[in-house]
Amino acid sequence: MGVDLIIFDLDGTLVDSCEDITNALNYCLKERGYEGLSSNIVKTMIGEGVKKLIQKVIEYKQLQISSEEMIECFVSYYKAHITDFTKPYPKVKETLKILKNIKKAIISNKLTELTIQTVKNLSLIHYFDFIGGSDSFQERKPSALPIIEVMKKLNSKPENTIIVGDSELDIKAGKSAKIKTVAVTYGYGDKDSLSEADFKIDRFEDLIEIVKKL
């Protein structure tokens, strides 16, 4: 078929951002007199965007705080510390460089501003033809809409497009958009939820062989 567009998730796929997300949440919790969360707990909550993340934290901790207040605090702190500890996973830069002749996009459920800031700070931005977050589209993953819009924007067809992600949201979105799906097993997603993916990779650089096969 030939791949001419690769769509990537961000957190848990291209970059490990869990520590900075955890630190931002814990800052807001401790400022309000609550104990913080472990990064292992936070890891299970990442992937559906900031509103959902805060809802999960409020429910988990049974907080008597408005979600709006927590979102405002989280975004403000996180913006200022977005790549204190966040880094690309091993071989991400090298692999993106090898795949330089293929169009690449990021579709994240993170806010667009935070997605772009992360990629820019880590010197990854020049690898991508399009970067979009949850507020770039009318719907978010697992909806197929963001993928369909990006394919139109970058003039690619479903048979020539693949999505790479660490969660069930990415796989479901890809299946709904009728594109091939690649699950990374090193990210934040529950491994059992990735069973529907067309391919699974344990290392980011394994993507190169899959692209060659297709």
Q: Is the pLDDT of residue 22 over 70?
A: yes
Q: 4-19 pLDDT, tens per residue?
A: 999 999 999 999 999 9
* Residue 192: per-residue pLDDT: 87
Last residue within a domain, chosen from 80, 95, 115: 80
* Residue 191: per-residue pLDDT: 85
Q: Are residues 76 and 92 in the same domain?
A: no
Q: Are residues 146 and 68 in the same domain?
A: no
Q: Are residues 109 and 186 in the same domain?
A: yes
Q: How many domains does the chain have?
A: 2
> In angstroms, rounded to a whole number, what is the distance separating the alpha carbons of residues 86 and 89?
9
* Residue 177: per-residue pLDDT: 98
Domain CATH for 199:
3.40.50.1000
Q: Are residues 108 and 185 in the same domain?
A: yes
Last residue within a domain, chosen from 51, 80, 109: 80
* Residue 190: per-residue pLDDT: 87
Last residue within a domain, chosen from 36, 53, 80: 80
- From the list 4, 9, 198, 206, the catalytic residue is 9
pLDDT band for position 84 (cuts 50, 70, 90)? very high
Domain CATH for 44:
1.10.150.240
Q: Are residues 113 and 190 in the same domain?
A: yes
Give Cα separations from 159 to 5, 81, 90, 111, 174 (angstroms). 10, 39, 28, 28, 11
Q: Is the pLDDT of residue 1 over 80?
A: no
Q: Is the pLDDT of residue 205 over 90?
A: yes
Q: Are residues 71 and 34 in the same domain?
A: yes
Q: Are residues 9 and 42 in the same domain?
A: no
Domain that includes residue 68, residue range: 18-80
Q: Are residues 39 and 106 in the same domain?
A: no
Q: 146-195 pLDDT, tens per residue?
A: 999 999 999 999 999 999 999 999 999 999 999 999 999 999 988 888 99
pLDDT band for position 206 (cuts 50, 70, 90)? very high
Active site residue 9: yes
- Averaged pLDDT score across all residues of the chain: 96
Q: Provide the strand spans (E) within the chain.
A: 5-8, 15-16, 87-88, 103-107, 130-132, 161-165, 180-184, 199-201
Q: Are residues 119 and 48 in the same domain?
A: no
